[in-house]
């Protein structure tokens, strides 16, 4: 995909691999909508892109709040009449050893809320814009760390661990990717997910007490491959390990599980089923 003059939203792009992706997109001539929670870091990211001749704008939102997710979508629609690429990259890590269960502003398990539900809602809110910009692409930055969702206790009120919460939320992203790809057939909008690289040198990894052994540049290469490679044109519903097409946890390919997640997601985000049918038709 020719990136010059394309409009791209990258969530979580004020730090880590998201910031590298945003900077590379800016250098390639794209208009980058930079997103983050911290305004100062966001302004610094925008300044870096602009200093190299790129175009960037900052959108501040805390994805632990569904109200702010909707506000972010509104801000995107107000800023641009097209969206060529959406990269759902923002996330919360495992929290390291002994991580305590936390909840979002809406009372949902925090990792599920930020890593999965925010991206689900943001994508739903921006689908009309993406369809109007077709051919367009959605990239969900997931992980090789995956654990089947327990639909009897999706919010992990029993037997909580940060690792389990993280792995469940990342697999949810992949179920969503495959489900959405089916619904977007014929629209010109594709959606794929990936594990960018293992234990990249990011704040998230260091906070978990892990010594990084991959670079953010390697992860950025993998994300940009899905965002812009001509080889991915028209291909959708796939999971990649780095730049190699791979297979996710078996639950991702279970149609019943995907349907359960879809119903749960619309319920948790307060979207009526009629809206979901209209948005995904």
> Got the DSSP string for 166-192?
HHHHHHHHHHHHHHHHHHTTTTTEEEE
Identify the residue whose tokens are 């702010």.
68
Q: What is the CATH number of domain 7-280?
A: 3.40.50.720
Active-site residue set = 166
Q: CB burial class (10 A; 0-12, 13-18, 19+) of residue 99?
A: buried
5: left (phi over 0), alpha (psi -120 to 50) or beta: left
**Cα torsion angle, 197, 201, 207, 209, sign:** positive
Local confidence band at 274 (pLDDT 50, 70, 90 cut-offs)? very low
Q: Strands 7-10, 189-195: parallel, antiparallel or unpaired by DSSP?
A: unpaired
- How confident is the model over 166-197, as pLDDT tens digits? 999 999 999 999 999 999 999 999 999 999 97
pLDDT of 124 over the 50 cut: yes
- How confident is the model over 13-63, as pLDDT tens digits? 999 999 999 999 999 999 999 999 999 999 999 999 999 999 999 999 999
- Whether the pTM exceeds 0.85: the reply is yes
Local confidence band at 114 (pLDDT 50, 70, 90 cut-offs)? very high
- How confident is the model over 238-271, as pLDDT tens digits? 999 999 999 999 999 999 999 999 999 999 999 8
């Amino acid at each position: 995909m020719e990136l010059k003059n394309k409009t791209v939203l990258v969530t979580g792009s004020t730090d880590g691999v998201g910031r590298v992706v945003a900077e590379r997109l800016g250098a390639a001539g794209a208009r980058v909508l930079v997103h983050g929670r911290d305004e100062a870091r966001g302004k610094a990211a925008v300044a870096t892109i602009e200093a190299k001749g790129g175009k960037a704008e900052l959108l501040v939102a805390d994805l632990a709040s569904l109200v702010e997710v909707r506000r972010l979508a509104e801000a995107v629609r107000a800023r641009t009449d097209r969206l060529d690429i959406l990269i759902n990259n923002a996330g919360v890590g495992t929290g390291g050893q002994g991580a305590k269960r936390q909840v979002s502003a809406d009372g949902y398990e925090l990792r599920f809320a930020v890593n999965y539900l925010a991206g689900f809602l943001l994508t739903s809110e921006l689908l009309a814009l993406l369809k109007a910009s077709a051919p367009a692409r959605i990239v969900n930055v997931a992980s090789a760390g995956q654990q089947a969702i327990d639909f009897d206790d999706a919010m992990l009120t029993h037997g909580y661990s940060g690792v389990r919460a993280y792995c469940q939320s990342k697999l949810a992203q992949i179920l969503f990717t495959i489900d959405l790809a089916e619904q977007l057939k014929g629209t010109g909008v594709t959606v794929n997910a990936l594990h960018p690289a293992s234990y990249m040198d990011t704040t998230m990894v260091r906070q978990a007490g892990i010594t990084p052994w991959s670079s953010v540049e390697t992860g950025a290469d993998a994300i940009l491959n899905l965002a812009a490679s001509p080889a991915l044109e028209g291909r959708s519903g796939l999971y990649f390990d780095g730049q190699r097409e791979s297979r996710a946890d078996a639950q991702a390919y279970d149609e019943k599980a995907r349907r359960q997640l879809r119903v749960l997601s619309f319920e948790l985000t307060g979207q009526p089923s009629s809206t979901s049918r209209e948005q995904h038709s």
